[in-house]
Amino acid sequence: MTVLLGLSAAWLAGTAALAAIDPPGGVGGAPSPDRQLLGVVLTTGHLRARIVDNTDRFCPLGDSMMPGYNGLAALIDSGQGRNIVTPAGLNYESCRTVPKLGQRQDLWNAPRLAPMIIERLDARTARLSQKGADAAGLNVEIVFNLGETYVDQTITEWPDTDIESSYTFWASYMNLVQNTSLFLHGALKDDKEARWLEMTSAGHNGSGTGTFFRPCDPTGKTWDQFLVDNPVRRQAVIETPESLAATERAGFKMGQMVTFDNFFFGFVDDHVVLWIFRKPGNGRFNSWISASGSEAVRRLAWDFGIESGLQKAGERRTYYVRLVYKPYAGVDDVLREVEHFQNPGTP
């Protein structure tokens, strides 16, 4: 008789529930490793990704079900061998329109609560969609395409009635990274010109204390040389007076980002995680960082938002986002990746 040790009743119940929901997989009817995982699994030569809708799913870290999280729940490089995002993943978290629209218009996390549809388009592509009337006013389609070293998100948004503006927020929860900072090239309020900056937070703060910056020079640095102090000694999951003071002692100052070059990057060990945003014809991208990811400082959030202006009923706007994930090969390689995606056709 096999004795199961250390497995909670909740784990067993969750596993049984997922097994009942998920169809059999594998070749010739053989069980697939993904059989008990909700969502769509995409694979290439080196990368493996799992895309999920906002159906509740089991979270082994907390021995519970994940409510409403969606999008990229797993991204694994065969050479590194670990999931770089938490079970919350990279998800469509928040939406608001002016004027307010949709059945859940007063809920900050309406996209997590309204019905979503997930579809596999091919071995490398999946699509999530949601009706604005069910959520907070914007119809949204998110197409995920997995490449050899990246995941592309093609995001299309449109309202059913004329709006003055909209804002969508996309949270990216990372999994136990050593270096919790992001690096970008941009200008803060009162800067005379753009420069390289390291961006951090002192911890999550619902009142929005802000983000902190200090100058950096990425030229010639290897991945490990970007980590100049231990974030655990200065950050907190929830911002405190002590974490604020420690952040300032480390040379960071609170700042307001006014422009950035539509990319930022961080590190998961020796791999770079690089977000690139193609400049939209309408609207703009912005960046955000928080130490709020989960139970630990190192499960932080590297986020972005999309702001629009006036938009007519039925007018579709498409935004292009690329997440590059590969071994870090220097800042010049980062800039080549940025140029290639922001300017299609670049060699």
Q: Give CA separation, 174 vs 22, 315, 342, in Å.
A: 26, 33, 24
pLDDT at 217: 97
Residue 2 clears pLDDT 50, i.e. is over it: no
In sequence order, the 6+-apart residues with CB closer than 8 A to the CB of 209 are 202, 239, 244, 254
Q: In which band, very low, low, confident or very high, does the pLDDT at 21 lie, cut at 50, 70 and 90?
A: very low
* 56 C-beta neighbours (distance < 10 Å), count: 15
Residue carrying the six token digits 């592309």: 152
Residue 37: what pLDDT?
63
Q: Of 43-57, 143-157, 259-273, where does mean pLDDT reach its minimum?
A: 43-57
SS3 186: strand
Domain spans in the chain, listed from the N-terminal domain onward? 35-342
Tokens of 304: 């972005």
How many Å apart are CA 237 and CA 89, to the nearest integer?
A: 17
271 Cβ contact partners less than 8 Å away, ≥ 6 residues apart = 77, 80, 84, 223, 325, 326, 327, 328
Q: How many CB atoms lie within 10 A of CB 107?
A: 17
Distances (CA, A) of 139 to 33, 108, 111, 269: 33, 16, 10, 37
Architecture of domain 35-342: Distorted Sandwich (2.70)
Q: Is the pLDDT of residue 42 over 60?
A: yes
Q: What's the mean pLDDT in 16-23?
A: 34
Helix (H) or strand (E) holding 113: helix 110-113
Judge whether residue 34 has pLDDT over 70.
no
> What's the pLDDT at 57?
80
Residue 157: pLDDT band by 50, 70, 90 thresholds? very high
Instruction: Specify the range with the lowest mean pLDDT, choosing from 33-37, 175-179, 296-300.
Output: 33-37
Categorize the per-residue pLDDT at 85 as very low, low, confident or very high, splitting at 50, 70 and 90: very high
Across the range 277-283, mean pLDDT stands at: 93
Q: What is the pLDDT of residues 87-96, one digit of tens each?
A: 788 999 999 9
Is residue 93 within 8 Å of residue 171, measured between CB atoms? Answer: yes
Output the CA–CA distances (angstroms, integers) from residue 112 to 56, 61, 178, 205, 320, in the order listed. Answer: 10, 20, 29, 21, 21
Q: Considering the entire predicted model, what is its pTM?
A: 0.87
Rg value, the chain, Cα: 20
Question: 61: pLDDT confidence band, cut at 50, 70 and 90?
Answer: low
Write down the pLDDT at residue 154. 98
**71 has a pLDDT exceeding 60:** yes
pLDDT for position 41: 94
Distance from C-alpha of 87 to C-alpha of 275, rounded to nearest angstrom: 19
pLDDT in tens, 305-330: 999 999 999 999 999 999 999 999 99
Name the strands in the sheet holding 40-43, side by side, starting at the edge strand that comes first in the sequence: 40-43, 47-52, 71-77, 85-98, 165-174, 301-307, 284-290
Can you tell me whether residue 168 is helix, strand or coil? strand
Write down the mean pLDDT value for the chain: 86
> CA 38 to CA 19: how far, in whole Å?
9
25: number of Cβ within 10 Å: 15
Give residue 347's pLDDT: 66
Residue range 221-227: mean pLDDT, rounded = 97
The backbone region for 34, taken as left when phi is positive above 0, alpha when psi lies in -120 to 50, beta otherwise, is: alpha
24-28, 289-293, 338-342, range with the lowest pLDDT: 24-28
